[in-house]
Amino acid sequence: MSEQQRSPESSQSFEENQAELELIVERLERGDVELEELTRLWERGEELYRRCAAQLESVRGKIEELARRVSGEADQ
Protein backbone atom coordinates (compact mmCIF):
# COMPACT_ATOMS: atom_id res chain seq x y z
CA MET A 1 0.00 0.00 0.00
CA SER A 2 1.49 3.38 -0.96
CA GLU A 3 1.79 6.25 1.47
CA GLN A 4 -1.01 8.06 -0.35
CA GLN A 5 -3.37 5.09 0.07
CA ARG A 6 -2.61 4.62 3.76
CA SER A 7 -4.77 6.33 6.33
CA PRO A 8 -3.00 8.78 8.66
CA GLU A 9 -3.59 6.35 11.54
CA SER A 10 -1.94 3.42 9.79
CA SER A 11 1.15 5.50 9.03
CA GLN A 12 1.71 6.44 12.66
CA SER A 13 4.99 5.25 14.10
CA PHE A 14 5.19 2.90 17.05
CA GLU A 15 6.16 5.83 19.25
CA GLU A 16 3.14 7.87 18.13
CA ASN A 17 0.79 4.95 18.73
CA GLN A 18 2.33 4.29 22.14
CA ALA A 19 2.10 7.95 23.18
CA GLU A 20 -1.57 8.12 22.18
CA LEU A 21 -2.27 4.88 24.03
CA GLU A 22 -0.57 6.22 27.16
CA LEU A 23 -2.74 9.35 27.05
CA ILE A 24 -5.86 7.21 26.78
CA VAL A 25 -4.78 5.06 29.72
CA GLU A 26 -4.15 8.18 31.82
CA ARG A 27 -7.63 9.51 31.04
CA LEU A 28 -9.27 6.19 31.84
CA GLU A 29 -7.33 5.88 35.10
CA ARG A 30 -8.46 9.36 36.19
CA GLY A 31 -12.04 8.16 35.81
CA ASP A 32 -13.38 11.55 34.79
CA VAL A 33 -14.91 10.55 31.43
CA GLU A 34 -18.55 9.90 30.73
CA LEU A 35 -19.73 6.46 29.68
CA GLU A 36 -19.99 7.23 25.95
CA GLU A 37 -16.47 8.67 25.85
CA LEU A 38 -15.17 5.85 28.03
CA THR A 39 -16.41 3.34 25.47
CA ARG A 40 -14.88 5.29 22.60
CA LEU A 41 -11.54 5.63 24.41
CA TRP A 42 -11.50 1.95 25.36
CA GLU A 43 -12.10 0.89 21.75
CA ARG A 44 -9.39 3.25 20.48
CA GLY A 45 -7.03 1.97 23.16
CA GLU A 46 -7.61 -1.62 22.09
CA GLU A 47 -6.94 -0.68 18.48
CA LEU A 48 -3.71 1.09 19.41
CA TYR A 49 -2.62 -1.81 21.62
CA ARG A 50 -3.14 -4.29 18.78
CA ARG A 51 -1.24 -2.03 16.39
CA CYS A 52 1.68 -1.63 18.81
CA ALA A 53 1.80 -5.38 19.48
CA ALA A 54 1.83 -6.09 15.73
CA GLN A 55 4.59 -3.54 15.16
CA LEU A 56 6.69 -5.10 17.94
CA GLU A 57 6.13 -8.61 16.58
CA SER A 58 7.19 -7.46 13.11
CA VAL A 59 10.38 -5.93 14.46
CA ARG A 60 11.09 -9.03 16.54
CA GLY A 61 10.81 -11.18 13.43
CA LYS A 62 13.19 -8.92 11.53
CA ILE A 63 15.71 -8.98 14.39
CA GLU A 64 15.54 -12.78 14.61
CA GLU A 65 16.11 -13.05 10.85
CA LEU A 66 19.09 -10.70 11.02
CA ALA A 67 20.52 -12.68 13.95
CA ARG A 68 20.20 -15.91 11.92
CA ARG A 69 21.98 -14.30 8.98
CA VAL A 70 24.78 -12.99 11.15
CA SER A 71 25.11 -16.35 12.88
CA GLY A 72 25.19 -18.11 9.52
CA GLU A 73 27.88 -15.78 8.21
CA ALA A 74 29.95 -16.27 11.35
CA ASP A 75 29.78 -20.05 10.93
CA GLN A 76 31.26 -19.87 7.41
Mean pLDDT of each 10-residue bin along the chain, 76 residues long: 46 94 97 95 98 96 93 78
Q: How far is the CA of 72 from the CAs of 59, 62, 65, 76, in angstroms?
A: 20, 15, 10, 7
Radius of gyration of the chain (CA): 18
pLDDT value of residue 8: 53
Terminus-to-terminus CA distance in the chain, angstroms? 38
Contact in structure between 52 and 18 (CB atoms under 8 Å): yes
pLDDT value of residue 10: 64
pLDDT value of residue 72: 86
pTM, rounded to two decimals: 0.73
